[in-house]
Structures are given as structure tokens and as C-alpha cells.
Amino acid sequence: MKKQIIAAAVAATMSAAALADISITGAAQVNYTNSDKEGATPDTNIFSQETSLKIVGKSGDTQVVIGMGGAAMDANSSDNTGAEVAAASYANIEDIYMTTKIGDINVKSGTWDSGDNPLRDSNRNAGKIALSTKLGGLDLGYNGTSAGASADEFVVGTAVSGVNLKFVQRAAGETIVASGEVAGVKVSYLGYQEDAANMDKTVVEVGTKVGDVSVRAGKATADSGAVIDGNSWMGDYEDAGASMTLTAGQDVTAFELSTAVAGNTVTFRTASVDDATTGGSAHDVDWNKLIVTRPLASGATLEVTYTDTDDSVATNDTTDIDVELRVAF
């Protein structure tokens, strides 16, 4: 009996030790969206849901990360038609990678999301590897994938007088990143300089605080052959619908004000996309957003977004109301 008790105690201790370096975080949200498009009858009313889960296991300087996601009810039933769209998936493995150190070199290998920015959307590639280290005042890095030399990136970064600088040499061009703060104003620059003609695109963003109000402005420009298709506060051009899908040469200008009011965060955002063609398929698009976010006593966050889209093609004019309930843990 004593041996059984001792064995049980040891097993319990080992289980606790095995779980000590594992963490689980995630988020879930549900959205109700009403969209009223000019000339379209009736309105569309959609309930959608999105979930994500992140599992991290650690052993010393090494960790393994597994990211899971899936739109369990994404684009589900419209209450006007009663039609239902089956969920494509419920739990996809989106990211899976390992990070570790070999001497002074940081190593990351696997599959992960590259992240969004105002100029290009995110992407995932299998068989990725990232190496980074410091040499004096320089940050040095190499990024590669199973695609071979065409996807290789060599990175050099440093800071000069409070300005962070990064240069990325790619097979098809260069990426230049700069950010800093001048007299309380944050300024950032991102540029994709391509070897191919008329494919460059850049964005400049500035932000500051005036009293209790945060102010932000941005200008993204694209050459005649380049398309801005990123996802950021300036706009989402990945899957935004016909009236918001940018074409080659279109530029974006955006402005935002945000402040706290009676326990809510209230944000006003306006953006404008110019028409890069004459008589072509591209068109001017302007939109205004009012976003009210409030943390709830339950631990969830409630966000209501009103969007008014004004398109030079009148039948694309749209007003949307989106109510989102989100929780992170």
C-alpha cells in the first residue's frame, strides 16, 4: 500500500513538472454584421465566429509553438434567406514552429504567419527558417524558405540617434524600414523597392497625442504596376469586397482620432483611395468609421463599428454596422 501511495505521489509530481512549461492562450469572438448596399435588396445580416488557440511548450532556451484557428461559423446564415453556409473548418493548425539558440544565434524554423502591414497582406510558407544575431551595434538576420534562393532575405538593422533602421535585401528588390520619435511625434516609413519596373510601394505614418486624444495619419503610395493589399488600421484590402479591392497604382490616405469617453474607447477613422485609371475598372472609394470599444465586467470586450463607404460607382455605396463580442485568455 505504501509503495502504491509513493508511486502515485511521484506520478503526480512528474505530471506537474511536465505541465509546468506548457502555456495555453487564445481568443474567441462572435460578430453580427448588417450591410446595406445601394441598390441591393434586402440587407444582409450575418452572424460569424472566429476562434484561435496558441500552445507553447518550453525547455530552457527552446520552445515549440502551435497556433490553431478556424472560422467555426464564419459567413454563417443570412436571416433574410434562411440559407446556411457550412463551416470550412473548425480547428486548423495555422502556425507550428520551434525557436532555440545555437551560441549567439537565434533560430526559428517551421511555419508561421509573416504578419500584416499597410502595404501587403500576410502569408504562411512551410519550411521557413530565420536566423538572427547581434554584432556590435548591428542586428543581422537571414530568412529563407523551402522555395529556395528566390525567397532568401538578408537583414541588417541598427539604431542611429534614436531612429530604428532596417534594410532587407531580397532576390527581387529591397525593403527599407525606419521609425523614430521627434518632439513627441512618432514617425515611421516602410518601402518596398522592387527590381521590376513600376512595382515600388511605400507608406509613411505619423502619430502623436494632443491632450487626451491620440492622432494618427498615414499615406500609402503605389507605382502604376504595384497593388496595396495589406491589412492595417488604414484598411483591410485582402478580402474586403469589390468596392474595397485595390488595383494597381491606387494610393491610400488615412486619418484617425481616438480617445476615452465614459469608460469607452471611441475612435473615428477616415480613409480615401484614389482612382489610378482613366475610364478603367478602378474607382475612388472613401469611407468613415466610428468605433466604440468597451470592456465588460464579464471579462469580454464589446465593440460596435459603424462604417459608411462612398464609392464613385454609386451602386457600391454601403453602410455597415458590426457588433463584436470578444474574449482573450
Is the previous residue joined to 42 through a cis bond, with omega within 30 degrees of 0? yes
Which domains are seen in the chain, by residue range?
22-328 (2.40.160.10)
% of the chain exceeding 90 in pLDDT: 58
Least confident of 144-158, 239-253, 304-318: 239-253
* Of 219, 167, 221, nearest in space to 198 by CA: 221
pLDDT in tens, 259-297: 999 999 999 999 998 876 555 556 788 899 999 999 999
pLDDT at 65 over 50: yes
* Of 65, 70, 60, nearest in space to 23 by CA: 65
pLDDT in tens, 198-225: 999 999 999 999 999 999 999 999 999 9
pLDDT at 9 over 90: no
* Of 81, 74, 85, nearest in space to 50 by CA: 74
pLDDT of residue 42: 74
Least confident of 25-29, 75-79, 272-276, 301-305: 75-79
Written in H, E and C, the secondary structure of 222-246 is ECCCCCCCCEECCEECCCCCHHHCC
Q: What are phi and psi of 244, to 5 degrees?
A: -120, 5
Q: What is the pTM of this model?
A: 0.83
pLDDT of residue 313: 75
**What number of residues does the chain have?**
329
pLDDT at 240 over 50: no
% of the chain exceeding 70 in pLDDT: 82
- Which helix (H) or strand (E) segment holds residue 292: the answer is strand 285-295
Question: What is the distance, to the nearest Å, from the Cα of residue 192 to the centroid of all Cα atoms in its chain?
Answer: 18
pLDDT at 79 over 80: no
d(CA 221, CA 237): 14
